[in-house]
Structure 1
Amino acid sequence: MTGQLLGTSTDLLRVEDVKVSFPLATGHVDALKGVGLRVLPGKITALVGESGSGKSVLGQTIMGLQPDYARVSGKVLLADPSAPSGTVELLGLPRDGRQIRAIRGSKIGMIFQEPMTSFSALHTIGNQITEALRIHEPVSAKEQRERAEDMLSLVGFTKPGKVFDMYPFELSGGMRQRAMIAMALICSPSLLIADEPTTALDVTIQAQILTLLRDLQQRMNMAILLITHDLGVVANVSDEVVVLYQGRIMESGPVEDIFRRPQHPYLKGLMAAIPHFGMAQGDRLRPLRDIKVDHDKLMTAIGNAKPMDTASRQHEAPEVLLSVRNLSKTYQTRDQAWAFRKPSAAPAPAVDGVSFDIRRGECLGLVGESGCGKTTVSKILMRAVTPDAGSVIYDDGSGPVDVLEAKGDDLQRLRTQIQMVFQDPVSSLSPRMTVGNILSEPLDIHRRGTPAQRRDTVDALLGAIGLGQSARHRYPHSFSGGQRQRIGIARALALAPGLIVCDEPVSALDVSVQAQILNLLKDLQKDLGLTYLFISHNLAVVDYMADRVAVMWAGRIVEIAPRETIMTAPVHPYTKALLAAVPYPDLERRLDFATFAGSSALTSVNWAAAFRAEASQMAPLDLGNGHFVLAHKSADMAELKS
């Protein structure tokens, strides 16, 4: 379908045979290879593809925001009744002239994936929203503020006047994205380009933003070009779909045809790579490009990494590998910490009485929204954060060790036995070290084996994660995101740990690369008997990986149960809200947008009385078969289950 244009004279936007290339020292790279698509008035067109497929390049080219050195050809036609011919050819306009600036923000708005880097940190939200009005519609300062506050109210802020005077860093990720939407829509554009607007957001906040975009699109009769790699989002909001791969359009058409009758192998492969609820225990994801794990090399690597006296110290291993009891951690705000008098309000705890066990060989999923305390718990387990209270006991069969009080030899052993895979593989790998040095560093620090054995272990780890020996001498920047995450996993495996804490290990990855990493983690768990604490806000991923699931809200675990119980018969209203917010890539299971029109699904306001009692009256109630829910101590069991 390269270069083919689907559309008629009624199209709001027509892209015809657009090609974009970037010159390199050794030649050039073709980002777009003759792309043609349409956006209809008042409709949502989704542009789907992996990272590097050219989605964002197309969005930038439509807006005239591509780099100066980019080579661009083709046509981008925007319907404009004020133009003599009824259309404007955007690529024919000077990139920084008065004509294209009159279109940006006024006729075409754009929201970006990461609003924090898109906002100026030095200006208030209101100042940045009204800037578009000052440029396109010169009105008085009073009217600018009134219109900006009206738009902030429209995108869901209950106190728009207060938000108008705030700075971007004072807002959460979801609030910043709402403010970005308000800035893009302040001049009522006929087309909104939304570049991955929900990728970095929690599932419940994502559902709110999707509901907001859908409502605004219908209310303002606005067209949206939605750039995303999430097929669940596409199925729930789009009217038409365009699938992009390596700069070429593989398939396009109405959303019904794309999901019910996909034709191209690439689209079918994308759908097969998505974890979905209800998968059988032995089912595997089918990534577009699978990783071949070298099991023999893997076992050699782990054998070399184990300390020599492990066998002599081993006694009968208990079922529970890690036992966490009553963890609490409170942070004071700067104002509270510097106050000379007693603070007027007690600081809210980040972690509040958290208790759970991780059994040997299992994967415990820990889910919840940003700010619920998931990462703080993981940092406490790694001794990166000291809790105010609580205990953490680790026993791998060599005797119980108090993680929080360990010193000397016990602490050194813990450092090898509990490892972590981080969310961002870019910032967690040193850019100044080669991959070989990154993987050998843990072995050097803990003096595992001879120098020759360490080299063999590094070679074996590289083979185990599907990278060749040439990767040893390369630096992290020369690898893709998925490859960097595999390097992070190999580093965590280098010391043959008993427990690996995975903190959002696939949230920054495309669906096909995500499938690679999840399958690799499952294979390693099976082959090595690894134990995982898997932290995520993606419930479909947790459903695929976890044996048991713990749900966290406001610093407390509100429900914990086997995976099947949590996913099919949740009891706590917050767990139900999380599951209801998941966008399925299935036209038969669309989001209930009415649920997320406000914030009632995310707060405790409308919960049953048993779930919102005073903290001193709450306790984890046993519902049987390993299912516990946080509720009032005197709550009726039968009533809770109903």
Structure 2
Amino acid sequence: MDSSADLLRIEDLGISFAIVGGPIHAVKRANLRVLPGKVTALVGESGSGKSVISQAVMGILPKTANVRGRILFSDPETPGKTADILEMPRDGQEIRSLRGRRIGKIFQEPMTSLSPLHTIGNQISEVLLIHTDMSATERRERTEEMLGLVGFPNPRQAYDKYSFELSGGLRQRAMIAMALICRPALLIADEPTTALDVTIQAQILQLLRDLQTKLNMAMLLITHDLGVVANVADEVVVIYHGEIMEAGPVEAIFRKPSHPYLKGLMAAVPHFDMKPGERLKALREVPVNVENLLDTRRAPQAGRTDVLLSVKDLTKTFTTRSSSWFGGQKHQVRAVDGVSFDIKRGECLGLVGESGCGKTTVSKILMRALTPEAGSVIYNGADGPMDVLAAEGSELRALRTKIQMVFQDPVSSLSPRMTIQNILSEPLEIHDRGDATYRLEKVKSLMQAIGLDKRYLNRYPHSFSGGQRQRIGIARALALGPDLIICDEPVSALDVSVQAQILNLLKDLQKKLGLTYLFISHNLAVVDYMADRIAVMCGGRIVELAPREILLRKPVHPYTRSLLAAVPFPDLDRPLDFKTLQASGASDTRAWGPQFRDDGVENAMEPADLGGGHFVLARRTADARELRS
């Protein structure tokens, strides 16, 4: 193979870190290449060495790293000359002139990667200040031009905004603008869409493809999402525990995967073509043993379809100030606007929508963390109906045991100062369940139920992986034997293989313990796998609600259709149709038909019954046949 044709070539790269007890070998004899103007995807689980390789290319590895091998970069600006990045002095002029100017990088988390103390324009133009001789006026012009190029609706206004004033999608666009401001030859994108909604992700992928073509730029895309890889990559490199398992053109990798690890990754991805009852094939299954937990639960009764939780006309408004910190104008934002749904006993209701649509606000109201202005929440427990919003004292205390929550971030939701035993026994202590011996036995039973060894009880959360921490979060939610568990994006921060573990675990627990779930997510394929019925939320309102098989096969509302169109499939024969994706986002009501738009006039919106439990938010005069067409 002709190495001179490669823009970036990594040969026999080995990276290890010296720690007490012996070195950790993060990367072992890795070989890969990035061709000019092409996209190479580096695919693998967390901890496989992907980000460490990208840090080596950028020359930003910590001093404790021991590196061997070669990283050859052939800059098109200097034809015929190939430089070894590893031989460059650590903070020398040579590596600094490459970093940011000829090799750009988009980091995974835009909120922590952007300074909250400097404006977006200030941070982006700083790259030009370091690498060019432009005047302040020229830097501002170039920055505003780049902000427009990456899709900011008003670049001049965006220049003076702070990162916390932007949505997640716009923050990621700002990161892209910063990485591309000097027109680099190589862009390293480290999980650029992991934390984004499916519609924003599709916009960012389209943006990266367009800019790559326009700037004739190569890209090293680091991801664990095979759907993203299938839609963007030219070549694929699969890495596991620091070793390259398989590499080749995207066609060969997807149509004829040969390595068992790659086949396992593909089988772990939830997709819309799964048969009823089909199970995700996790790379490492979690054994579930709930025999000792059954004492806290009633056995599920066959044929019971009564409503466990009834939510009617919830409304919640927040007051925000304009950009002036003191004395700015107040604005009312209706986060939840007349939301109604029922959760039947023993079912899983999926709640989907983009960030900011009000999903988490609804969950906080159900958990009594927020108080709505209007609406009712009735819980139908064994002791009869209970008004969730009016419960106080002992009634509220009893209610807390019946409704529990699994949080989105497995890291921040567990106290770093408490052992696993303390974390799992805390709910039992708060609600005076048994003595110390009973609690210890209960905690051991919970560990058994989530497939973790009880020897780990005295460990702290930092010694567990993300998937193990999420399993501990699930065990904590199960401790009091609840009827309803609210799962708020429980797998969005996890790798696809670990995600399959957690989803299978939740399904097994639901079946064996007769649990009821409200499953909140923006990943439609995950909701398709978990839910019996799905409610789609947009702008604080539920715009469509239907059984899973109806909603995903025959969606009626334009917003639901846009969400489904933006899901990237790990299938080369089903590419994303970037032309039909709305540049303004799925929630832009201007692209909806007149029967779905709320014009605020006498023709108000209400749920139209299309039959079979299928409801869609439409104008009162809309005909059911017209809606279906």
TM-score by structure 2 length? 0.97
Q: 1:468 aligns with which of 424, 434, 453?
A: 453
- The corresponding residue for 1:421 is 406
Instruction: Say if 1:7 and 1:471 are closer, same or farther in 2 by CA, change over 3 A.
Output: farther
- The corresponding residue for 2:314 is 327
In 1, the alpha carbon distance for the partners of 2:2 and 2:413 equals 46
- The corresponding residue for 2:572 is 587
- The corresponding residue for 1:126 is 121
In 1, the alpha carbon distance for the partners of 2:425 and 2:51 equals 37
In 1, the alpha carbon distance for the partners of 2:575 and 2:203 equals 14
Secondary structure, in 3 states, of the residue corresponding to 2:175? helix
Secondary structure, in 3 states, of the residue corresponding to 2:46? coil
Secondary structure, in 3 states, of the residue corresponding to 1:243? strand
The answer on 1:69 being equivalent to 2:64 is yes
- The corresponding residue for 1:518 is 503
Residue type matched to 1:551 in 2? V
Report Cα offsets for 1:172-201 as digits up to 9, x if no partner: 110011011111111110100000000000
Secondary structure, in 3 states, of the residue corresponding to 2:23? strand
Secondary structure, in 3 states, of the residue corresponding to 1:287? coil
Q: 1:541 aligns with which of 519, 526, 530?
A: 526
- The corresponding residue for 1:251 is 246
The answer on 1:147 being equivalent to 2:142 is yes
The CA deviation at 1:614 is 3.0
The answer on 1:490 being equivalent to 2:485 is no
Q: Write out aligned runs for 1:9-48 (5 A).
A: 9-48=4-43
Residue type matched to 2:605 in 1? M
- The corresponding residue for 1:3 is none
In 1, the alpha carbon distance for the partners of 2:504 and 2:77 equals 54
The CA deviation at 1:339 is 9.1
The CA deviation at 1:338 is 9.6
| Equivalent pair of 2:42/2:236 in contact (CA under 8 Å) | yes
- The corresponding residue for 1:301 is 293
Q: Which runs of 5+ in 2 are unaligned?
A: none
Residue type matched to 1:161 in 2? R
The answer on 1:188 being equivalent to 2:189 is no
Q: Write out aligned runs for 1:264-343 (5 A).
A: 264-294=259-289, 298-303=290-295, 305=296, 319-335=306-322
The answer on 1:347 being equivalent to 2:303 is no
The CA deviation at 1:597 is 6.2
The CA deviation at 1:82 is 5.2
Aligned positions, number: 625
In 2, the alpha carbon distance for the partners of 1:58 and 1:129 equals 25
In 2, the alpha carbon distance for the partners of 1:7 and 1:394 equals 68
The CA deviation at 1:144 is 0.8
| Equivalent pair of 1:318/1:397 in contact (CA under 8 Å) | no
Q: Which runs of 5+ in 1 are unaligned?
A: 1-5
- The corresponding residue for 2:485 is 500
TM-score by structure 1 length? 0.95
| Equivalent pair of 1:124/1:168 in contact (CA under 8 Å) | yes
The CA deviation at 1:348 is 2.3
Secondary structure, in 3 states, of the residue corresponding to 1:9? helix
Q: Write out aligned runs for 1:186-265 (5 A).
A: 186-265=181-260
The answer on 1:108 being equivalent to 2:91 is no
In 2, the alpha carbon distance for the partners of 1:318 and 1:593 equals 42
Report Cα offsets for 1:516-572 as digits up to 9, x if no partner: 000000000000110000000000000000000000000000000000011100000
The CA deviation at 1:264 is 0.2
- The corresponding residue for 1:638 is 625
- The corresponding residue for 1:598 is 583
Residue type matched to 2:614 in 1? H
| Equivalent pair of 2:565/2:581 in contact (CA under 8 Å) | no
Provide the identity percentage: 67
Q: Bigger shift: 72-81 or 491-500?
A: 72-81
In 1, the alpha carbon distance for the partners of 2:261 and 2:34 equals 23
| Equivalent pair of 1:322/1:393 in contact (CA under 8 Å) | yes
Report Cα offsets for 1:106-125 as digits up to 9, x if no partner: 11110001111111221111
The CA deviation at 1:600 is 5.3
- The corresponding residue for 1:179 is 174
Instruction: Say if 1:339 and 1:149 are closer, same or farther in 2 by CA, change over 3 A.
Output: closer
The answer on 1:628 being equivalent to 2:620 is no
Secondary structure, in 3 states, of the residue corresponding to 1:27? coil
Residue type matched to 1:226 in 2? L
Q: 1:440 aligns with which of 421, 425, 429?
A: 425
The CA deviation at 1:443 is 1.0
The CA deviation at 1:368 is 0.2
The CA deviation at 1:378 is 0.1
In 2, the alpha carbon distance for the partners of 1:468 and 1:30 equals 26
Instruction: Say if 1:68 and 1:346 are closer, same or farther in 2 by CA, change over 3 A.
Output: closer
Report Cα offsets for 1:258-297 as digits up to 9, x if no partner: 0000000000000000000021221000011000112xxx
Residue type matched to 2:424 in 1? L
Residue type matched to 2:140 in 1? R
Q: 2:562 aligns with which of 541, 557, 577?
A: 577
Secondary structure, in 3 states, of the residue corresponding to 1:594? coil
The CA deviation at 1:596 is 3.1
In 1, the alpha carbon distance for the partners of 2:22 and 2:536 equals 51
The CA deviation at 1:449 is 2.6
| Equivalent pair of 1:461/1:490 in contact (CA under 8 Å) | yes
| Equivalent pair of 2:320/2:331 in contact (CA under 8 Å) | no
| Equivalent pair of 1:211/1:596 in contact (CA under 8 Å) | no
The answer on 1:164 being equivalent to 2:159 is yes
In 1, the alpha carbon distance for the partners of 2:425 and 2:586 equals 48
Residue type matched to 1:299 in 2? E
Secondary structure, in 3 states, of the residue corresponding to 2:381? coil
In 2, the alpha carbon distance for the partners of 1:445 and 1:96 equals 54
| Equivalent pair of 1:7/1:37 in contact (CA under 8 Å) | no
Instruction: Say if 1:437 and 1:280 are closer, same or farther in 2 by CA, change over 3 A.
Output: same
Secondary structure, in 3 states, of the residue corresponding to 1:400? strand
Residue type matched to 1:28 in 2? P
| Equivalent pair of 2:416/2:461 in contact (CA under 8 Å) | yes
Report Cα offsets for 1:467-491 as digits up to 9, x if no partner: 1111111111111100000000001
In 2, the alpha carbon distance for the partners of 1:338 and 1:199 equals 32
The CA deviation at 1:23 is 0.5
| Equivalent pair of 2:318/2:333 in contact (CA under 8 Å) | yes
Secondary structure, in 3 states, of the residue corresponding to 1:181? helix
- The corresponding residue for 2:392 is 407
| Equivalent pair of 2:414/2:473 in contact (CA under 8 Å) | yes
| Equivalent pair of 2:199/2:585 in contact (CA under 8 Å) | no
Secondary structure, in 3 states, of the residue corresponding to 1:286? coil
In 2, the alpha carbon distance for the partners of 1:492 and 1:240 equals 42
- The corresponding residue for 1:382 is 367
Q: Bigger shift: 282-291 or 119-128?
A: 119-128
| Equivalent pair of 2:200/2:585 in contact (CA under 8 Å) | no
The CA deviation at 1:71 is 0.4
Secondary structure, in 3 states, of the residue corresponding to 1:208? helix
Residue type matched to 2:426 in 1? E
Q: Bigger shift: 477-486 or 613-622?
A: 613-622
The CA deviation at 1:20 is 0.4
Residue type matched to 2:50 in 1? K
In 2, the alpha carbon distance for the partners of 1:597 and 1:638 equals 26
In 1, the alpha carbon distance for the partners of 2:326 and 2:287 equals 58
Secondary structure, in 3 states, of the residue corresponding to 1:542? helix
The CA deviation at 1:302 is 3.9
Instruction: Say if 1:335 and 1:191 are closer, same or farther in 2 by CA, change over 3 A.
Output: closer
